[in-house]
Amino acid sequence: QSVLTQPPSVSGAPGQRVTISCTGSTSNIGAGHDVHWYQQLPGTAPKLLIYGNINRPSGVPDRFSGSKSGTSASLAITGLQAEDEADYYCQSYDSSLSGYVFGTGTKVSVL
């Protein structure tokens, strides 16, 4: 059972902006631990999209951005494109569990 909660799905038309929330608690996000985001295209392994709350690895378009506040974090995708259809997961560390935790995952659909 995931300790980071995400909406099961979000959708938007091409060119629109969508956001994905990641809600945690005082033992993970709220404890100051970094939040990271992964994109998983159908049939492939996850790919790091955002690390350290706001940073993009080389090669990730600046349409993707991350933010964090309190016990939650968000991933925003602006200028939504068909190739963005994928599952997205947040990840952090939980002090109570002494381990890494992933969000429940969000499926992004482009209408």
Give contact residues for other proteins (rule: CB under 8 A).
2, 33-34, 36, 38, 44-48, 51-52, 57, 89, 91, 93, 95, 97-105
Least Å from the CB of residue 13 to other proteins: 27
d(CA 65, CA 5): 19
The backbone region for 29, taken as left when phi is positive above 0, alpha when psi lies in -120 to 50, beta otherwise, is alpha
Nearer to other proteins, 34 or 85 (CB): 34
Least Å from the CB of residue 62 to other proteins: 18
Nearer to other proteins, 47 or 63 (CB): 47
Nearer to other proteins, 38 or 79 (CB): 38
| Contacting residues for 94 by C-beta, under 8 A, at least 6 apart | 3, 27, 28, 33, 100, 101
- Which amino acid would we find at residue 59? G
Asked if residues 103 and 90 have their Cβ atoms less than 8 Å apart, the reply is: yes
Nearer to other proteins, 1 or 111 (CB): 1
User: Which residue, chain included where needed, has tokens 């569990």?
Assistant: 97
Least Å from the CB of residue 39 to other proteins: 11
